[in-house]
């Protein structure tokens, strides 16, 4: 049945809008190359979705002409469905014959003649222009007063929203595991939610201003994330299972302090710098927040009339990337003169750190020494090691630092730990390793540089106030 005066797009829009439940729309296109049967329905989220089957005239022909039965089969007519017949090649004998057979088979079907029309594209446009029939929300998490995590929907698009509608979001992401954070759009109907779309993105922990754009019903794009979201194949159940009961305690900011003895044989100095580099990299790659890194290069005191300073702070609370560059610079320099052979200015390093690190620094401070020589004593000692000219007392300073919450110290010595100067065992305790047997992750964990409990949370938190 032809509908004079009604344009095809309007008919399609009207038909799609009238879909509900299991009702289907069948659009049969008789084109120059064959028949395309489009089946349009609404999925569980009430999003119109279309499927298409294509059959060529050759496939429907016998003895050089289309057969009626084959044409009807290709059209996938359904008495329960609304049917639209469209002839996009009216000049062709085969399309005209097919439309005639189909009209006979489905007398209630509307028939349109639209020469050259691209029905697939037209359907996509019509579907995309459909207003939402259900409320869209983003699945987010929120911590309750007792710390337990609960799902909370962040409204994205209300009923009636159309494509290109946008909404700003303020989302906080925690570290997520391998596949990344899930951006799950859900819809609500009859007090039940449905998963509309699921995307994933590798988003470093932090807070992001994100814009959600309704691309079409059933599809939301998210802009403003460092990684473009892609389709997520995880199931909803998998994602829900990955949500911890409660948010693990927020790991404190980490301040990694590497003090490196940069005087002595070139090979030894290079090995110390390499180890320090490994620790900085390890800390930066850990599950916690990115560490601030302080680097101190030190050597022995020079017992001469105008001694050079025994240490240099080459990076003060810098991002890991800056610290790694500073380590590279140190590596490019000639090692400092070995100087006084029996001690190095460890005591001055500690004194400098006591000065640099505020007493109430909320960060977890992990001090790692990379060296060989013990500190100079504060005064003449039985060891006969020359005292620190500045009278710095490493015992006193270390005790002060150790009293600070979150302070931990360790050391990597040139020699195997058991053969290192006794100072090192007293200084580092069980966080002591020789260059020959350093387990970087294990030692870092002892210093609190790796969170014992992974802090994976697959969904974002809505920070919108």
Q: Which of 346, 356, 354, 268 is nearest to 310 (CA)?
A: 346
Residue 138 or 302 with smaller CB distance to other proteins:
302
Cα dihedral 164, 168, 174, 177 in deg (nearest 10): 0
Residue 388 or 443 with smaller CB distance to other proteins:
388
Residue 380 touching other proteins (CB under 8 A): yes
Residue 303 touching other proteins (CB under 8 A): yes
Residue 305 touching other proteins (CB under 8 A): yes
Residue 382 touching other proteins (CB under 8 A): yes
Residue 100 or 378 with smaller CB distance to other proteins:
378
Number of residues in contact with other proteins under rule CB under 8 A = 16
Residue 92 or 387 with smaller CB distance to other proteins:
387
Tell me the C-alpha distance between 438 and 65, whole Å.
Answer: 80
Residue 334 touching other proteins (CB under 8 A): no
Q: How many angstroms separate the Cα of 246 from the Cα of each of 59, 154, 205, 237, 257?
A: 60, 19, 17, 18, 32
342 and 373 Cβ atoms separated by less than 8 Å: yes
Tell me the C-alpha distance between 68 and 186, whole Å.
Answer: 44
- Which pair of structure tokens corresponds to residue 386? 């020359």
320 and 280 Cβ atoms separated by less than 8 Å: yes
- Sole window of 49-57, 85-93, 174-182, 333-341 interacting with other proteins (rule: CB under 8 A): 333-341
Q: In the set 379, 418, 437, 465, which binds other proteins (CB under 8 A)?
A: 379
364-371, strands of its sheet edge to edge: 311-319, 292-298, 254-261, 364-371, 407-413, 432-434
Tell me the C-alpha distance between 444 and 409, whole Å.
Answer: 10
Residue 278 or 396 with smaller CB distance to other proteins:
396
Q: In the set 96, 159, 378, 400, which binds other proteins (CB under 8 A)?
A: 378
Tell me the C-alpha distance between 242 and 230, whole Å.
Answer: 19
Q: Could you tell me the end-to-end alpha-carbon distance of the chain, in angstroms, rounded to an integer?
A: 56
Residue 395 touching other proteins (CB under 8 A): no
**Smallest distance, Å, CB 414 to other proteins?**
17
Residue 180 or 339 with smaller CB distance to other proteins:
339
**Smallest distance, Å, CB 387 to other proteins?**
4
Residue 341 touching other proteins (CB under 8 A): yes
Tell me the C-alpha distance between 40 and 233, whole Å.
Answer: 24
Residue 389 touching other proteins (CB under 8 A): yes
- Sole window of 76-84, 109-117, 282-290, 340-348 interacting with other proteins (rule: CB under 8 A): 340-348
Residue 53 or 303 with smaller CB distance to other proteins:
303
Distance of CA 92 to the CA centre of its chain: 54
Tell me the C-alpha distance between 224 and 176, whole Å.
Answer: 18
Residue 245 touching other proteins (CB under 8 A): no
Q: In the set 143, 391, 399, 442, which binds other proteins (CB under 8 A)?
A: 391
**Smallest distance, Å, CB 304 to other proteins?**
8
Residue 394 touching other proteins (CB under 8 A): no
Q: Is 164 helix (H, G, I), strand (E, B) or coil?
A: coil
Residue 264 or 288 with smaller CB distance to other proteins:
264
430 and 439 Cβ atoms separated by less than 8 Å: no
- DSSP lists the bridge partners of residue 344 as 375
Residue 92 or 338 with smaller CB distance to other proteins:
338
Tell me the C-alpha distance between 381 and 334, whole Å.
Answer: 32
Cα dihedral 275, 276, 282, 288 in deg (nearest 10): 150
- Sole window of 72-80, 145-153, 244-252, 337-345 interacting with other proteins (rule: CB under 8 A): 337-345
Residue 387 touching other proteins (CB under 8 A): yes
Residue 342 touching other proteins (CB under 8 A): yes
Residue 307 or 358 with smaller CB distance to other proteins:
307
Q: Which of 262, 270, 280, 291 is nearest to 440 (CA)?
A: 280
Residue 256 or 351 with smaller CB distance to other proteins:
351
Q: Which of 139, 189, 172, 137 is nearest to 158 (CA)?
A: 137
**Smallest distance, Å, CB 379 to other proteins?**
4
Q: In the set 38, 136, 279, 340, which binds other proteins (CB under 8 A)?
A: 340
Residue 222 touching other proteins (CB under 8 A): no
Residue 4 or 382 with smaller CB distance to other proteins:
382
Q: In the set 205, 287, 338, 441, which binds other proteins (CB under 8 A)?
A: 338
Residue 429 touching other proteins (CB under 8 A): no
Q: Which of 321, 443, 427 is nearest to 371 (CA)?
A: 427
CB atoms within 10 A of CB 44: 11
Interacting residues toward other proteins by CB under 8 A = 303, 305, 338, 340-342, 378-382, 384, 386-387, 389, 391
């Amino acid at each position: 049945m032809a509908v004079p005066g009604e344009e095809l797009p309007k008919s399609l829009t009207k038909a799609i809008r009238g879909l509900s439940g299991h009702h289907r729309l069948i659009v049969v296109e008789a084109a120059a190359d064959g028949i395309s049967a489009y089946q349009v329905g609404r999925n569980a989220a009430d999003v119109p979705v279309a499927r298409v089957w294509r059959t060529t005239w050759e496939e429907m022909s016998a003895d050089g002409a289309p057969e009626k039965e084959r044409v009807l089969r290709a059209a996938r007519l359904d008495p329960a469905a609304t049917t639209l017949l469209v002839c996009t090649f009216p000049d062709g004998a085969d399309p005209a014959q097919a439309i005639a057979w189909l009209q006979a088979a489905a007398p209630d079907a509307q028939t349109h003649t639209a020469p050259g029309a691209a029905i697939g594209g037209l359907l996509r446009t019509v579907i995309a222009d459909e207003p939402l029939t259900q409320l869209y929300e983003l699945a987010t998490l929120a911590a309750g007063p007792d710390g337990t995590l609960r799902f909370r929907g962040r409204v994205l698009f209300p009923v009636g929203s159309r494509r290109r509608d946008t909404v700003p979001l303020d989302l906080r992401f925690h570290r997520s595991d391998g596949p990344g954070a899930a951006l799950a759009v859900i819809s609500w109907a009859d007090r039940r939610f449905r998963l509309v779309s699921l995307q994933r993105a590798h988003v470093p922990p932090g807070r992001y201003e994100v814009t959600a754009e309704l691309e079409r019903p059933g599809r939301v794009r998210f802009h403003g994330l460092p990684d473009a979201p892609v389709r997520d194949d995880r199931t909803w159940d998998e994602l829900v299972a990955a949500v911890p009961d409660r948010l693990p305690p927020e790991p404190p900011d980490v301040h990694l302090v590497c003090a490196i003895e940069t005087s002595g044989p070139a090979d030894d100095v290079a090995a110390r710098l390499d180890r320090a580099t490994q620790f900085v990299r390890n800390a930066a790659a850990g599950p916690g927040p990115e560490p601030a890194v302080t680097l101190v290069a030190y050597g022995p005191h020079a017992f001469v009339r105008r001694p050079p300073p025994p240490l240099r702070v080459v990076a003060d609370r810098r991002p890991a990337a800056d610290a790694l560059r500073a380590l590279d610079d140190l590596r490019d320099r000639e090692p400092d003169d070995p100087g006084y052979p029996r001690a190095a200015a460890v005591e001055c390093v500690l004194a400098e750190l006591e000065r640099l690190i505020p007493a109430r620094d909320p960060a977890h401070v992990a001090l790692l020494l990379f060296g060989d020589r013990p500190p100079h004593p504060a005064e003449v000692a039985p060891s006969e090691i020359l005292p620190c000219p500045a009278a710095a007392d490493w015992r006193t300073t270390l005790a002060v630092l150790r009293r600070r919450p979150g302070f931990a110290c360790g050391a990597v010595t040139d020699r195997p730990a058991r053969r290192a100067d006794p100072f090192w065992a007293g200084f580092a305790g069980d966080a002591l390793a020789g260059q020959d047997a350093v387990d970087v992750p294990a030692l870092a964990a002892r210093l609190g540089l790796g969170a014992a409990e992974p802090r994976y949370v697959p969904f974002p938190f809505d920070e919108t106030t």
